[in-house]
Structure 1
Amino acid sequence: MSTINDTHPTLVNSIWSTDQTLVRNVLLAIAGSIALWISAKIQVPFYPVPMTMQTFVVLVIGMSFGWRLGGATVLLYLAEGAFGLPVFAGTPEKGVGLAYMAGPTGGYLVGFVVATALVGWLAEKGWDRGILTTLAAMVLGTATIFAFGVFWLGSIIGWEKPVLEFGFYPFLPGAAFKIALAAAVLPITWKLVNKSSKTPDADANL
């Protein structure tokens, strides 16, 4: 059984092990930032509001890359946005750069970094191996994003307004869907990796 002090290899380290770690990490961070960019721009029809897959990508990057590389990837994405690239949802129509990041949705962006580090740390403790632990990690990561986003939104527009109706309730069904999807995808991916390497993870818990 895993303990809190155990450290497990990340999914990326298990799939792509190399001595050229710096080169690999730079390439992965760039690829991850591009995936975040794309996920922010694609809207999927859903009830009650359309959703993007960005929070899914954020948390999967965290759990696949680990907290250091995952956090660095999201920070790279935010740096691209800060320098004026239209990488965020609603850009350039709703502004770009630091002005956009300081707006009503800025808290969710901050939450991306914290949530990525959190789920990445949990993944390094083996939480990405089984359905239940992945589900729990994704719930915690999603809750972190919402906590930062709602607090920031309330600070911007004022708490006398229905902040939860603007920044939380409409997005819950989509968040639940993405959490369930991640809880299925990551353990399945681990099973495929372990099968291909013929070294099943004894700590996997379903």
Structure 2
Amino acid sequence: MAFLDPSLTRPAALWRGLGIALCGAALITLGAKVQIPFWPVPMTLHTLAIFFVAAALGPRLGFAAMSAYLAAGAMGLPVFSNSPARGIGLAYLAGPTGGYLAGYLVSTLVVGWLSRNRGWVAQAFAMLAGLGVVYALGLLWLAAFVPVSGLIAAGLTPFILGDLVKIVLATGLVTGLARLKGRAQ
């Protein structure tokens, strides 16, 4: 946990980590709520926020942030994309996008671990690996709602271009943050 000041006491470090994770969860919520007109479907900044948080905070705090986000949603807070219109709480998690949300949780570990102390190319590949996890779990879950013949058309094709753009943006943001952090020290 290099981000923590070694002079902090253990309780202070835990509180600081909790605060950072909650800020990460708030950023993920904001990303889920922002919709941008895009082709072929409107795009949220959900993936961008999750991958940025995972790469910037690392696997532990990235996972904690995503867990806090999912816990808030499970409790009925309207943090998810298109909620409350498409449902809230556990009903939303059990719906067609539940597998993607689980994939995001696992991907925070993948992205956070693979992108630690690495350059922008490695971070981009870490995010691609994380995206693979998201799509694998998402499509597996979606198969319970969509016929297998239409699975790729419903759960991957409309989103892949936007997700690749978000990976480029997230990589740029993490790289820029690292440069700013390097100048500040």
Scaled by the length of structure 2, the TM-score of the pair is 0.91
Corresponding residue number in structure 1 for 2:64: 72
One of 170, 174, 177 as aligned partner of 2:165? 177
For the 8 Å contact 1:154–1:163, the answer to whether it is kept is yes
Amino acid at match of 2:56: S
Kept in 2: contact 1:134–1:182 (CA 8 A): no
Among 106, 114, 134, the alignment partner of 2:123 is 134
1: distance between equivalents of 2:79 and 2:159? 21
Structure in which a larger fraction of residues adopt helix: 2
2:184 is matched with 196
What is the match of residue 20 of structure 2? 28
Structure 2 residue 91 is the aligned partner of structure 1 residue 102: no
Which ranges of structure 1 fall in alignment gaps of 5 or more residues? 1-7, 198-206
d(CA) in 1 for partners of 2:129, 2:57:
17
| 1:117-163 deviations in Å (ceiling 9; x for gaps) | 11111133x23xx221111111111121111111110123232x411
Secondary structure of the corresponding residue to residue 143 of structure 2: helix
- Output the CA distance in 2 between the equivalents of 1:69 and 1:185: 18
What displacement does 1:52 show? 0.5
C-alpha separation in 2, matches of 1:96 and 1:89: 10
Q: Secondary structure at the match of 2:139?
A: helix
Question: 2-side partners of 1:192 and 1:75: how far apart?
Answer: 28
* SS of equivalent residue, structure 1 residue 156: coil
The DSSP-based 3-state class of the residue aligned with 1:69 is helix
Amino acid at match of 1:186: V
Residue in 2 that maps onto 1:167: 155
Count of aligned pairs: 181
Does 2:115 correspond to 1:123?
yes
Residue 85 of structure 2 corresponds to 93
Whole-Å Cα distance in 2 between the matches of residues 123 and 21 of structure 1? 23
Partner of 1:43: 35
Residue 36 of structure 2 aligns to a residue whose secondary structure is coil
**Aligned residues of 1:115 and 1:142 also touching (Cα < 8 A):** yes
Higher radius of gyration, 1 or 2? 1
SS of match in other structure, 1:147: helix
Structure 1 length-normalised TM: 0.82
Aligned-residue CA RMSD (Å): 1.6
CA drift at 1:17: 3.0
Q: Deviations over 1:27-55 (max 9, x none)?
A: 11211111111211110111221100111
Poorly superposed stretches of 4+, deviation over 4 Å: none
Counterparts of 1:104 and 1:35, CA distance in 2: 23
